[in-house]
Chain A
Amino acid sequence: MKRTPVIEMKGISKRFPGVIANDKISFRVYPGEIHALLGENGAGKSTLMSILAGLYRPDNGIIKVQGRAVKLDSPRKALEAGIGMIYQHFRLVDNFTVAENIVLGAPKSPSKINREQMETETRRVSQSYGLTINPGARVHQLSLGEQQRVEIIKMLYRGCEVLIMDEPTTVLTPGEVKELFEILRAMSRQGKSIVLITHKLNEVMEIADYVTVLRRGRVVGEDRIENLDEGRLTRMMVAREVAYSQVKRDKSVGQVVLSVDRLKVQGDLGYLAVKQASFDLRQGEIMAIAGVAGNGQKELVEALVGIRSSVSGTVEYQGEEINHLNVRERISLGINMVPEDRIGTGLVPNLSIIDNSILRNYYKEEFFTGFFLNYKKVRRYTEGIVDKYNVYFSDLKHPVNYLSGGNLQKLLLGREIEQKPRVLLASYPVRGLDVAAAEDIYGLLLKERDKGTAILLVLEDLEDIFRIADRVAVMYQGSISGILEVNKTSIDEIGSLMVGAQLTGVENG
């Protein structure tokens, strides 16, 4: 028997300035199915589902709900079609009570607000799925896990047949994850469909019936869960073809510059995000930190540059312990960083290219005439950077948020390289960039490596690792599960370390 899918998306494309977030994507969900939408960060998962939820308008493509073509040009239309999405950042009114949030905007709620009735309704819906919540509490008093419950109840109250959840487990404790999965199973038994956006393989294996994998805006694979295992999923997620090491090197690596020993770092949620990290970083090498996002990479890098303090363990720079140094002191030693979000942390969106290019060293004498910044000198400096690093722009005075992602990254990386760092840390330096821009960034990094800089890159795409790194340290659940020479390893080996396999005969340093 051939069933009609509840949701069918065909040929969906969506561009944002500088990126194609979705490129002719087709996607189907059947009734009662728990469908995992898997892919690394920036793959286009949230965009695709925001289109289904009526938040974004696709540039192309059609959407069918229960076999009928629909135009979902607002969240209201999507809700009317039975599609509800729970976004990664919850969309709740903090100052409202739980019950108010639940009835808010629902067509069936009565015109006159009756607190008691509202709270009874809330209790009725929540209890039918075994969700406990205090309807009278204000949302800002709730934990993130509870807020998520409010979001779920909100969608159930509206009678959604398809529930989309964007990375729901990132804010949950392991216990809460279990609970959530129970609820999702209960919903699926009642015939509701669930789309679970995630990049965590173990979750997919645990709960999904069907998986669609996105990579760089395209569907790179889909199948029923029975036909898949973690290894195959990893490969789909991070690389299409089997990659091989392309790093050619003439010089050998030099001295150890940065030495990390048994570092423990606390995460935002209160437990240890980095449980155990030890490695040495040498002059003239690129070491990649691989791992599925959220396994402690972010916290590790933040601890190395001094944004986050460590709980225990040591970081040594050229033999000297630097644990107590702050960010600026570390910068002056030559430890520079290219942050994950180019715009915001890396560059100031509304300042011009000129201003952004000297943010790091605007106080240097070379830019001044007496008391004042000399814009002629500054401009010449900026022109030097954009020239040397191939930044395409229309006007140096325009705010940087007019630049495309690739040019932003070149400007940012160029600015940092001009500081002549001894250690360069970069998180996801090619995330969201097109192939040409990514090539340019690789080129810059390799050149910098050959000059003798020690480079640590947080990467998630295995292809990137094989393309550029000399060594790779794989992180899993806060620990480094193995450090490997890139040209002596394989995608499968890294992939299995990424999902928690143990390495036999751990090589260290």
Chain B
Amino acid sequence: MDINAWTALLAATIVAGTPILFAAAGELLAERSGILNLGVEGMMLVGAALGFIVTVNTGNHWVGLLAALAGGGSMAAIHALVTVSLRGNQVVSGLALTIFGSGLSGFLGKNYQGIPMNYGFKSLDLPVLSDLPYLGAVFFRHDILVYFSVILALFMWYLLYKTKWGLAIRSVGENPQAADAVGIDVSRIRYLCTIAGGMLAGLGGAYISLVYAPTWQENMTAGRGWIAVALVIFALWNPTRAVLGAYLFGGVEALTFRLQTMGINLSSFFLAMFPYLVTILVLVVVTIRRRQDAGAPQALSVAYDREER
């Protein structure tokens, strides 16, 4: 492979990592508040379907994006209702929403299979930076959503670690009793984080159907929602690490694609396993190191009831 092929591969890596990054950032936010959302895959699918359908019908991809945000957000609102207000089981609710989302998106998109789409996000070459040799091609000749996803992750890091709201969110995920006792509204924070997380999952889905592979196909997210869930663990619940992780997994995806076009026969099953293998490895390492302040939020997936002992 020559140097240009490499830059192309790296640029493809970033594009492939972007939907995962959106979804993972959303999941991370929800989990930081103590809500495990296993509905990401379903929310991404609904986002992808709605984003595509609305864009085709309105001719405006921004409206399509809004629809995807709303779709993911509403499904997450159901998750919040079930798990925060009704204190239902988070795993069950999340899995149900994934199955529901896969069915719903298939139903909505039935008549849109394979329709081409001519609207979309143009590449936005950043002035000066995009002219840098190699680096410019890899990092600075992308559509606006790619830049936004990175800014979003960095913003989330700032929010969580540098502001009092972030402190509040983390405290709710660590110890809702403690948060409640100092007057933090546990339910409100959990609702907000879960819904915002679902919106980001929807956005991640729409990125796939509008930019990455501009079309609609049933189940087109192909497990990226699950990768996002795994990525949160891989990132040890830290948004900046999630960026790196997303590009690592995106790189694997881009590489798989590239190797196939080059006729090299590395089993695609092996590559599909890769993100999960890495996640398991990370889990093992983390558990061995057992650093209290770097692990999962202590109250993750535990419902909070003020009057319960």
- Cβ–Cβ contact B174 & A79, under 8 A: no
- Cβ–Cβ contact B306 & A96, under 8 A: no
By a CB distance below 8 angstroms, the chain B residues around A113 are: 161-164, 166-167
Q: Would you list which residues of chain A between 83 and 123 have a CB under 8 Å from chain B?
A: 85, 87, 89, 91-96, 100-101, 103-107, 109-113
**Is B168 located at the chain interface by the 8 A CB criterion?**
yes
Expressed in whole angstroms, the minimum distance between the Cβ of A404 and any Cβ of chain B is 16
Expressed in whole angstroms, the minimum distance between the Cβ of A230 and any Cβ of chain B is 31
Contact A111-B167, Cβ < 8 Å, known A79-B182, A95-B298: no
Contact A91-B175, Cβ < 8 Å, known A104-B184, A105-B184: yes
Expressed in whole angstroms, the minimum distance between the Cβ of A165 and any Cβ of chain B is 13
- Cβ–Cβ contact B182 & A104, under 8 A: yes
Q: Would you list which residues of chain A between 264 and 283 have a CB under 8 Å from chain B?
A: none
- Cβ–Cβ contact A91 & B168, under 8 A: no
**Is A74 located at the chain interface by the 8 A CB criterion?**
yes
- Cβ–Cβ contact A75 & B183, under 8 A: yes
Interface centre among B171, B185, B298 (most CB of A within 10 A): B171
Expressed in whole angstroms, the minimum distance between the Cβ of A100 and any Cβ of chain B is 6
Q: How far is the CA of A106 from the CA of B167 in the complex (A)?
A: 11
Contact A94-B292, Cβ < 8 Å, known A75-B180, A112-B163, A154-B182: yes
Partner of A93, one of B162, B165, B178, B185: B178
- Cβ–Cβ contact A111 & B171, under 8 A: no
Expressed in whole angstroms, the minimum distance between the Cβ of B2 and any Cβ of chain A is 48
- Cβ–Cβ contact B174 & A94, under 8 A: yes
Expressed in whole angstroms, the minimum distance between the Cβ of B181 and any Cβ of chain A is 4
Q: How far is the CA of A465 from the CA of B165 in the complex (A)?
A: 54
Q: How far is the CA of A80 from the CA of B182 in the complex (A)?
A: 10
By a CB distance below 8 angstroms, the chain A residues around B166 are: 113
Expressed in whole angstroms, the minimum distance between the Cβ of B177 and any Cβ of chain A is 5
**Is B179 located at the chain interface by the 8 A CB criterion?**
yes
**Is A181 located at the chain interface by the 8 A CB criterion?**
no
- Cβ–Cβ contact A138 & B178, under 8 A: no
- Cβ–Cβ contact B167 & A91, under 8 A: no
Contact A105-B162, Cβ < 8 Å, known A55-B181, A76-B183, A91-B177: no
**Is A140 located at the chain interface by the 8 A CB criterion?**
yes
By a CB distance below 8 angstroms, the chain B residues around A95 are: 174, 292-293, 298
Contact A93-B174, Cβ < 8 Å, known A55-B181, A75-B180: yes
Interface centre among A57, A85, A105 (most CB of B within 10 A): A105
- Cβ–Cβ contact A92 & B178, under 8 A: yes
- Cβ–Cβ contact A92 & B175, under 8 A: yes
Expressed in whole angstroms, the minimum distance between the Cβ of B164 and any Cβ of chain A is 6
Expressed in whole angstroms, the minimum distance between the Cβ of A507 and any Cβ of chain B is 41
- Cβ–Cβ contact A79 & B306, under 8 A: no
By a CB distance below 8 angstroms, the chain B residues around A76 are: 183-185
By a CB distance below 8 angstroms, the chain A residues around B168 are: 104-105
- Cβ–Cβ contact A111 & B165, under 8 A: yes
**Is A56 located at the chain interface by the 8 A CB criterion?**
yes
- Cβ–Cβ contact B177 & A104, under 8 A: no
Expressed in whole angstroms, the minimum distance between the Cβ of A54 and any Cβ of chain B is 9
By a CB distance below 8 angstroms, the chain A residues around B293 are: 95, 138
By a CB distance below 8 angstroms, the chain B residues around A105 are: 168, 171, 179, 182-184
Q: How far is the CA of A75 from the CA of B180 in the complex (A)?
A: 7
Mask, A286-311, CB within 8 Å of B = 1, is 00000000000000000000000000
Q: How far is the CA of A92 from the CA of B175 in the complex (A)?
A: 7
By a CB distance below 8 angstroms, the chain B residues around A53 are: 181
By a CB distance below 8 angstroms, the chain A residues around B161 are: 113
Partner of B179, one of A55, A57, A104, A138: A104
By a CB distance below 8 angstroms, the chain A residues around B298 are: 94-95
Mask, B165-209, CB within 8 Å of A = 1, is 111101100110111111111000000000000000000000000
Expressed in whole angstroms, the minimum distance between the Cβ of B207 and any Cβ of chain A is 31
Q: How far is the CA of A89 from the CA of B177 in the complex (A)?
A: 10
Which residue of B has the minimal Cβ distance to A53?
Answer: B181
Q: How far is the CA of A91 from the CA of B179 in the complex (A)?
A: 8
Which residue of B has the minimal Cβ distance to A80?
Answer: B183
Contact A140-B178, Cβ < 8 Å, known A95-B298, A105-B171, A105-B183: no
Which residue of A has the minimal Cβ distance to B181?
Answer: A91
A-B contact pairs, 13 of them (CB 8 A): A56-B306, A75-B180, A75-B181, A76-B183, A91-B180, A93-B171, A93-B179, A94-B292, A95-B293, A101-B178, A109-B164, A113-B164, A158-B182
> Other than the known A56-B307, A93-B170, A111-B163, what 13 A-B pairs have Cβ atoms closer than 8 Å?
A55-B307, A75-B183, A89-B177, A91-B178, A91-B181, A93-B174, A93-B175, A94-B298, A105-B168, A105-B184, A107-B183, A112-B162, A113-B162
